[in-house]
């Protein structure tokens, strides 16, 4: 979980330690944008807890900032239509405006780590990342473009020059494990 990864840095940094930042993970393992927006009686995997809708969660958490990083499952196996994804992302932004947390949305990143557009889902991931950028712009929401950052990193860090002069790219394991 990303929160477990970043929380130690936030708690030990000279800049952020005095702010007493509390992180709450509301991710739905295996969930997509509709499960986030509407809530889920169960998550994508057995044994996960039910979750309220995004609007109810941010209201009850009284969050100052809500970060939404969603989309890979929508592309990968939920097969969410792009127009449904866009509408749900717009609904999340509207819900945040009603309860006043500052919303930050992040583009989906990668499913496969070949940096040259040859992962099976790259075309759809690019489309959904562009939808996320559009929603952020149209709703005045802060955007973190993880897709662009991941691709830039992979283009610079995921290449090995072989003796025969060809390049080899690791398909996974550079930034993600799945």
Reduced to 3 DSSP states, what percent helix, strand and coil does the chain have, rounded to the nearest 5? 45, 10, 45
β-strand partners of 167: 161
The model's pTM is 0.92
Contacts of 76 (CB under 8 A, 6+ apart): 111, 121
At 145-169, the pLDDT tens digits run: 999 999 999 999 999 999 999 999 9
* Order of all β-strands in the sheet with 142-144: 65-69, 102-106, 142-144
- Specify the pLDDT at position 30: 85
Distance of CA 9 to the CA centre of its chain: 19
Q: Provide the 10 A C-beta neighbour count for residue 15.
A: 7
Banded model confidence at residue 35, pLDDT cuts 50, 70, 90: very high
Buried b (16+ CB within 10 A) or exposed e, 139-166: bebebbbbbeebbebbeeebeeeeeeee
| pLDDT > 80? residue 72 | yes
């Amino acid at each position: 979980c990303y929160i477990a990864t970043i929380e130690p840095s936030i708690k030990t940094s000279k800049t952020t330690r005095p702010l007493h930042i509390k992180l709450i993970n509301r991710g739905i393992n295996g969930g997509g944008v509709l499960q986030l927006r509407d809530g889920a009686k169960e998550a994508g995997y057995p044994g996960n807890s039910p979750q309220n809708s995004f609007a109810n969660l941010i209201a009850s958490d009284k969050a100052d900032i809500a970060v939404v990083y969603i989309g890979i499952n929508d592309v990968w196996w939920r097969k969410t239509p792009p127009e449904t994804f866009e509408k749900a992302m717009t609904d999340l932004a509207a819900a945040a405006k009603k309860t006043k947390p500052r919303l930050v949305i992040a583009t989906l990143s990668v499913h496969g780590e070949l940096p040259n557009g040859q992962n099976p889902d790259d075309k759809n991931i690019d489309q959904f990342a562009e939808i996320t950028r559009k929603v952020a712009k149209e709703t005045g929401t802060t955007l973190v473009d993880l897709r662009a950052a991941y691709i830039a990193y992979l283009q610079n860090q995921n290449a090995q020059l072989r003796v025969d002069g060809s390049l080899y790219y690791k398909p996974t394991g550079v930034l993600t494990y799945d």
